[in-house]
Amino acid sequence: MENAEELFRVAVIGSGNWGSVAAKLIASNTVKQSMFHDEVRMWVFEETLPNGRKLSETINQENENVKYLPGIKLGSNVVADPDLLNSVKEVNMLVFVTPHQFVEGICKRLVGNIRPDAEAISLIKGMEVKTEGPCMISKLISEMLSVNCCVLMGANIANEIAVEKFSEATIGYRQDKEAAQRWARLFSTPYFLVSAVPDVEGVELCGTLKNVVAIAAGLVDGLDMGNNTKAAIMRIGLREMKAFSKLLFSSVKDSTFFESCGVADLITTCLGGRNRRVAEAFARSGGKRSFDELETELLQGQKLQGVSTAKEVYEVLRNRGWQSLFPLFTTVHEISIGLLPPTAIVEYSEHARNLNLLQGAVQLH
Ligand SMILES: NC(=O)c1ccc[n+]([C@@H]2O[C@H](COP(=O)([O-])OP(=O)(O)OC[C@H]3O[C@@H](n4cnc5c(N)ncnc54)[C@H](O)[C@@H]3O)[C@@H](O)[C@H]2O)c1
Ligand SMILES: O=P(O)(O)OC[C@H](O)CO
C-alpha cells in the first residue's frame, strides 16, 4: 500500500456463475470491514440479452446477474462494468475468475494498466501449456502483471454458495502470509470458511485436475455403472492428481489433498458439477454428440473446463512420455476427442497394469 491509511479496493474480473457469487461474498464483507472500500467492481464480458438489453446494465439495474446467477441479489455495492481497464482503476486487490482460456487475453490488456502495488488472487481452475511446459494460471497472472498471486479453490459449486449453504475453501499462497490472511478476510463468511496453506501449486493443481476426473465420473454415470464404479474412478483420479502434481512440482504437499481444494472438491464436482453433467450426456449419446454441442445446449453460456484441461494434461503427458503412468487422464482425453468410445473409461485391465507402473515410478506413500 502506498498510503497506510488508504482502503483496499477490490475488482472481480469475471462475472460468470462463480464470478457473480464471488462478488456477492466479497461485497458482503467490504461493507462490514473498515479496511476495504465498500464498492466492489465486477468486470463483465459484455453481451446482449435476448430482450435486447446489455448484461452489465441489467446487473446494475436489478443488482442481479440474470444470465449467470438468476434469482440472487449481489449486494448494492457491486458495480458491473463492461470496461476492463476502468474496472481495475485505483484497485489494489484483483480477483481473477473467468474460464481459464480467456485469462491470457485479459492479462495482455491489463499490462501497464494496473496499480504497481496491486495483488491478485485466482479462483480459476485450469492451466495453459506453453512450448516450455505447463504454466499454472496464477503463474501466468503473476508473470504477465508482475503481481503476487494467491489462489482460492475448494468444494465450491457456485449455486449452493449463492444460497448461503455452508462450505469451505482453501487459499494457496507462496510466501506472503499477510496477503493470504487479507484474502481470507475478504472471502470468509459464517457460511464460507476459508483456510490458507503455503502451497500455491498444490492447491491450484487440485482445482484444475479434479475437472478431468469429473469428466470420467460423468462418463460412468452416463454408462449407468453405479456408485462403486464411480468411487473407483474418483480414487484412481485422486491418485493421478497427486502423482501428476508431485511430478510437476516436488514442493506439493500431501496434506493439501486433504484440504477443501483436494478430496472435498473432487467429491462435490463428481457428484454435482457441470463437467460431470455434460460428460454424462456425452456418454448417453454414445459419444455421437460433441462436448462443444452439449456444453452450448446444457450450460447456456457457462463454460466447461474439464475437456480442455484433459487436452492440456495430455500434452504434458505426451511431451514427457508419461501417458502410460496416467491411464485415467489419458483415457479421458482420448474419449473426449472421439479416439475411444465412452465405455473405454471402465475397461480396466490395462489401467490396472499401468497403476502398478505408477506406484513404482512415483513415491506415493
Ligand atoms: N461455477 C462454479 O460452480 C465454479 C466454482 C468454483 C470455481 N469455478 C471456476 O471459476 C472459473 C470461472 O467460472 P464461472 O463459473 O464464473 O464462469 P461461467 O462458466 O459461468 O461463465 C462463463 C463466463 O465467461 C465469459 N466469457 C465468454 N466469452 C468470453 C471471452 N471471450 N472473454 C472473456 N470472458 C468470456 C462469460 O461472459 C461468462 O462470464 C472457472 O475456472 C471455473 O472452473 C467455477
Ligand atoms: O461445475 P464444475 O464441474 O465446473 O465444478 C464447479 C466447481 O469447480 C466445484 O468446486
Tens digit of pLDDT for each residue in 74-121?
999 999 999 999 999 999 999 999 999 999 999 999 999 999 999 999
The answer on pLDDT for 1 being more than 60 is: no
pTM value is 0.95
State how far the Cα of 296 lies from the Cα of 72, in Å rounded to an integer. Answer: 23
Mutate to test the pocket of ligand 1, among 12, 13, 15, 18 (most ligand atoms within 8 A of CB): 18
AA letter at 147: V
Q: Average pLDDT for residues 148-166, to the nearest whole number?
A: 98
Distance CA(349)–CA(357), nearest Å, equals 13
Find the 160 Cα to ligand 1 centroid distance in Å: 16
Name the residue with the closest Cα to ligand 1, atom 22. Answer: 302
Residues 233 and 223: beta-carbon distance below 8 Å: no
Per the annotation, the verdict on 54 as an active-site residue is no
The closest residue, in CA terms, to atom 5 on ligand 2 is 273
Ligand 2 contacts CB of residue 274 (under 6 A): yes
Instruction: Say which residues have a Cβ less than 8 Å from residue 174's Cβ, sequence separation at least 6.
Output: 148, 150, 198, 200
Ligand 1 neighbour 306 (Cβ under 6 A): no
Ligand nearest to the CA of 295: 1
Q: Identify the pLDDT of residue 173.
A: 98
pLDDT at res. 81? 98
Give the least confident one: 3-12, 20-29, 208-217, 241-250. Answer: 3-12
C-alpha cell at 86: 476502468
Task: Examine the pLDDT at 364 and tell me if it is beyond 80.
Answer: no
What's phi and psi for 12, nearest 5 deg? -105, 120
Cα separation, 239 vs 266, in Å, equals: 12
Is the ipTM higher than 0.90? The answer is yes
Whether residue 76 is annotated as binding a ligand: the answer is no
Q: Is 33 annotated as a binding residue?
A: no
Task: Note the pLDDT of residue 175.
Answer: 87
* Residue 348, pLDDT score: 56
CA distance 274 to 301: 12
Give residue 138's pLDDT band: very low, low, confident or very high (50, 70, 90): very high
Q: Could you list the beta-strand ranges (E) of 82-239.
A: 93-96, 119-122, 127-130, 133-136, 149-153, 167-172, 192-197
Q: Distance of CA 100 to CAs 58, 104, 286, Å?
A: 25, 8, 28
User: Is the CB of residue 126 below 6 angstroms from any atom belonging to ligand 2?
Assistant: no
The C-alpha cell that represents 150 in the structure block: 494467491
Ligand 1 midpoint to CA 15 (Å): 7
Residue 341 has pLDDT above 70, yes or no: yes
Question: What pLDDT digit, counting tens, does each position of 217-267 carry?
Answer: 999 999 999 999 999 999 999 999 999 999 999 999 999 999 999 999 999
Percent of the chain with pLDDT over 90: 92
Q: Give the model's pLDDT for residue 143.
A: 97
Query: Is 183 annotated as belonging to a binding site?
Result: no
Coil, strand or helix: which one is 169?
A: strand
Mean predicted lDDT score pLDDT of the chain: 94
Say which residues have a Cβ less than 8 Å from residue 26's Cβ, sequence separation at least 6. 10, 12, 40, 95, 186, 187
Name the residue of 269, 275, 282 whose CB sits within 8 Å of the most ligand 2 atoms, as the mutation to test its pocket. Answer: 269
